[in-house]
Amino acid sequence: MIATRLLVAGAMVCVSIATASAASSESPPGATSCSGCHSSAAADTPVPRLNGRNAAEIVAQMQAFRGGARPATVMDRIAKGFSDAEVQAIAAWYAEQR
């Protein structure tokens, strides 16, 4: 019972962080590090643009990098540096950017 309450409370915190970050025009912590490789311009590059991309897709890709399911040169190491809440907040913010 207590574990279920903690799980629900944790999920609510993650959703709150993601929602607050998405509503803010200022990027959440960690999001600026993405822009070094992931351009906001609509340029044709091997590194995909994150602006406007579905948040759930960004989260899934970060989880795949973190777990080793998706091969990478550096993203696997970068993904391990973010908590689940941070990934969700960054993904929500990028989804709102155009």
What pLDDT, on a 0 to 100 scale, did the predictor assign at position 2?
55
pLDDT in tens, 35-93: 889 988 777 788 999 999 999 999 999 999 999 999 999 999 999 999 999 999 999 99
* Contact criterion met (CB below 8 Å) for 19 and 92: yes
Structure confidence at residue 22 as a pLDDT band (50, 70, 90): very low
Tokens matching residue 90 = 């960054």
What pLDDT, on a 0 to 100 scale, did the predictor assign at position 42?
74
Domains with residue ranges and CATH for the chain: 2-96 (1.10.760.10)
The string over 9-24, giving b where at least 16 C-beta atoms fall within 10 Å of a residue's C-beta and e elsewhere, is eeeeebeebbeebbee
Structure confidence at residue 24 as a pLDDT band (50, 70, 90): low
